[in-house]
Amino acid sequence: MPEDNPRSLIWETVVPTETRARRVADRINRELAILLQRKVADPRLAGLNVTGVDVDRELAYATIYVTAPEDEQEVLTALDRARGFLRKELASNIPMRAFPQLRFRWDYSPDRGARIDELLDRLKSEREQQEEGEDPNGPPQDDPLASAPDAGERDLSTDEG
């Protein structure tokens, strides 16, 4: 039988597991999506997408990642102003002893994903052009560095000693 350590037993009962934090995050995500559709009338939040929610292990903070067609700063300002209302509404729908503080962050991953797709498409078209025998950069140009000596080469005739 493992040794009973009262300190570890207290820690296990006080600090929620990562699984519970993940469940709480999923629930906040669902409830917030419904809340934004039905109860928030701010036009700056129209078209707002909640892309993810992270809740820390102690359930003290919920970081909510959002994107929207509107200006990033304008949307985050509107969310900051609505933070108290949103937290109160979420707390009334999700029973917890203490509801996490809400933090809103802009999610840049859709923009990054679109940029990666654009780069991949360009590489694919360049590869297809090369396979067809076309140079995607046009005719070859003289390379001024091609005739320059390597940085590692030295003229030994001028060395002294």
Exposed e or buried b per residue across 48-80, where buried means at least 16 C-beta atoms within 10 angstroms of its C-beta: bebeebbbeeebeebbbbbbbeeeeeebbebbe
| Domain presence at residue 15 | yes
Q: What is the pLDDT of residues 117-151, one digit of tens each?
A: 888 888 888 888 888 875 556 555 555 555 545 54
Residue 24 lies in a domain: yes
Query: CA 155, 156, 161 angle in degrees (round to 5)?
Result: 135
- For the record, the structure tokens of 157 come out as 């005739």
Is the pLDDT reported for residue 16 higher than 70? Answer: no
Per-residue model confidence as pLDDT tens digits over 68-115: 888 889 999 999 999 999 999 999 999 999 999 999 999 988 778 888
Does the structure show a pLDDT above 90 at 3? no
Instruction: Give 161's pLDDT tier (boundaries 50, 70, 90).
Output: very low
Q: Is 94 among the domain residues?
A: yes
99 inside domain: yes
Q: What are the beta bridge partners of residue 122?
A: none
Total tally of structural domains belonging to the chain: 1
Domain with 71 in it: what CATH number? Answer: 3.30.300.20
Residue 155: inside a domain, yes or no?
A: no
pTM: 0.64
**Structural domain boundaries, residue 61:** 7-111
- Look at 19 and 63; give whichever has higher pLDDT: 63
Task: Identify whether the C-beta of residue 89 lies closer than 8 Å to the C-beta of residue 35.
Answer: yes
Residue 95 placed within a domain: yes
Q: How far apart are CA 138 and CA 97, in angstroms?
A: 67
Has residue 147 been placed in a domain?
Answer: no
Q: Judge whether 69 lies within some domain.
A: yes
